[in-house]
Amino acid sequence: MAYQSLRLEYLQIPPVSRAYTTACVLTTAAVIWRLITNFLFFGPVGFNFLFNMIFLYRYCRMLEEGSFRGRTADFVFMFLFGGFLMTLFGLFVSLVFLGQAFTIMLVYVWSRRNPYVRMNFFGLLNFQAPFLPWVLMGFSLLLGNSIIVDLLGIAVGHIYFFLEDVFPNQPGGIRILKTPSILKAIFDTPDEDPNYNPLPEERPGGFAWGEGQRLGG
């Protein structure tokens, strides 16, 4: 019964989120692949890995089921655009593994598209969604981690959000980011699955983490 419930929940995850999350988990068992899968590596299995997997699963899925609902090609294009910028910027700051930065980018884009959602972090902090990436960066600092990775994710997320959501709506603004037609032909399908049950995107976020506590929104 537990296996069937887990299987059904797994199959409910939209395709891009399911593929990316699964790849991140599977590559922990194959060290050699880390050389070519820098966006899938989150370190050895432990607290940091679990923490990142929770945020990756949650915000990747909410984006795909929310503002990218029915726009799989646009979602894939955001992955490609963000990955390209991170790889380029990473060369200047000597960053090799960019999985955490990619997660922060997803969190940033979601938070800017849901500015009125109230968040709760470990039951200690209450704040509006746009502050979530900065709260996560502060948490990384408290754990003794470098914040360069978080700053890179925030920077790339902001560039994407500005070019996609802000600049085209300004007087004289144009849409610079255009999803290639080949991606639309591959990923976009006209038919909706009537049994698909998406997570609501705009809601007070948080994974339960122990009795009466919520993890990070």
Question: Per residue of the chain (217 residues), what is the pLDDT tens digit?
Answer: 555 666 676 667 777 777 767 766 655 555 444 445 677 767 677 777 888 888 888 899 999 999 999 899 999 999 999 999 998 998 888 887 888 899 999 999 999 999 999 988 877 889 999 999 999 999 889 888 889 999 999 999 999 999 999 999 999 888 899 999 999 998 877 655 555 555 555 444 444 332 333 344 4
> Domain tally for the chain?
1
Domain span holding position 143: 2-186
Q: Note whether residue 214 is domain-resident.
A: no
Q: Note whether residue 193 is domain-resident.
A: no
Q: Note whether residue 134 is domain-resident.
A: yes
Q: Fill in the DSSP letter of residue 129.
A: G
Partners of 128 in the β-ladder: 118
Look at residue 208 in the predicted model and tell me its pLDDT. 37
| Residue ranges with strand state E in the chain | 118-121, 125-128, 207-208, 214-215
Q: Note whether residue 213 is domain-resident.
A: no
Look at residue 207 in the predicted model and tell me its pLDDT. 41
* Concatenated DSSP letters of 131-177: GHHHHHHHHHHHTT--SHHHHHHHHHHHHHHIIIIIGGGSTT-----
Q: Note whether residue 192 is domain-resident.
A: no
Look at residue 85 in the predicted model and tell me its pLDDT. 94
CATH number at residue 175: 1.20.1540
Encoded amino acid at 119, one letter: M
Residue 183 C-beta-side C-alpha neighbours within 13 Å: 15
Q: Note whether residue 118 is domain-resident.
A: yes
Distance from C-alpha of 199 to C-alpha of 210, rounded to nearest angstrom: 22
Partners of 118 in the β-ladder: 128
Q: Note whether residue 216 is domain-resident.
A: no
* Of 48, 24, 49, 46, nearest in space to 37 by CA: 24
